Amino acid sequence: MECIHVVVIESAAADVPMIEEALAAADFVVSSYSSRETGRASTYVMADDDNDANDKLKRVSDALIPWQDAFTGPSAVKTACMQQEDWSESWKKHFHSFRASARLVVKPSWEDVEPQAGDIILSLDPGMCFGTGYHGTTKACLQFLDDLEAQQGPRSFLDAGCGSGILSLGARLLGYEPVYAFDNDPQAVDTAYDNLALAGVHDVAIHCAELGAYQPPQPCQVVAANILAVVLLKYAEDVCKLVDRKHGDGYLILSGILTEQYPEVLQRYQALGARELKRTTIDEWTSGCFALPQQK
């Protein structure tokens, strides 16, 4: 049976945002799962093999040192080799159907739901990639996408840092087209394609690329960047260039931002011409929907 090598950070659920922020700054891609019953969480960094896991163990531990005093509870970092079946069951028990927005209902592929009139069902199997929709950042993005489509009608859409593909899927089912997506993790790209195929969606182009290097087939009228604040700040100009502003205002959804970091992100994007339309705070995260004025 296939063994999955990981570095595991066991912590209080309330500390996950800080852990994600610290590891994103160190260029790690993570998956986190929290238990509402116990208040504990596990954050995973994938490794290629045992040697890679040991190397990443030290780098992860070093990245977390400056944050230790801010953690609300004890944390532990270790390596593990998990069987594929064990991994699947470990996160499945935390993922259940829920309403993400006025029209969007997210459900795991193994559950059945009874939709209400007007509901759009997002069925997905996130695997080892970020994005079940539970996370406050993902939920906020889905709400903004739902609201924008209801107000503006279908538009072209780009999912920057697509993870499991949940935003691409939600956008496509809401009527956005064309839809493009990219992620710097090849496994995320594969998972996103699988989730779109599961929903019968086969016309979303997904690429493996870094944010600063990605060249979309075309600029898009709506861009969602659910990427942590440190990345949004570093690549702010690149993010804004992804937005199509030739035929009217473009729209930008920024997420992955801890609430205390939001003012800095807001100021940076306002300096580039973005106008905040709405913000929403879910748990420790604040996300914003912005308009970028038409370029003439």
Per-residue pLDDT tens for 185-237?
887 888 888 888 888 899 999 999 999 899 989 889 999 999 888 899 999 99
Separation CA 34–CA 11 (nearest Å)? 9
Separation CA 293–CA 174 (nearest Å)? 24
4 CB-contact burial (10 Å; exposed 0-12 / middle 13-18 / buried 19+): middle
Contact 38, 117 (CB under 8 A): no
| CA angle (83, 78, 81) in 5-degree steps | 15
CATH class of 3-92: alpha beta
What's the pLDDT tens digit per position in 22-60?
887 787 877 777 776 788 888 888 888 889 999 999 999
Q: Label residue 127 by pLDDT band (50, 70, 90).
A: low
Superfamily per CATH, domain 136-292: Vaccinia Virus protein VP39 (3.40.50.150)
Q: Give residue 87's pLDDT.
A: 58
Q: Is the pLDDT of residue 13 over 80?
A: yes
- Angstrom CA distances, 272 to 157, 252, 261, 268, 285, stand at 20, 12, 18, 7, 22
pTM value? 0.77
Q: Give residue 112's pLDDT.
A: 81
Cite the residue boundaries of each domain of the chain with CATH code 3.30.70.260.
Answer: 3-92
Contact 249, 292 (CB under 8 A): yes
| Strands 157-160, 179-183: pairing kind | parallel
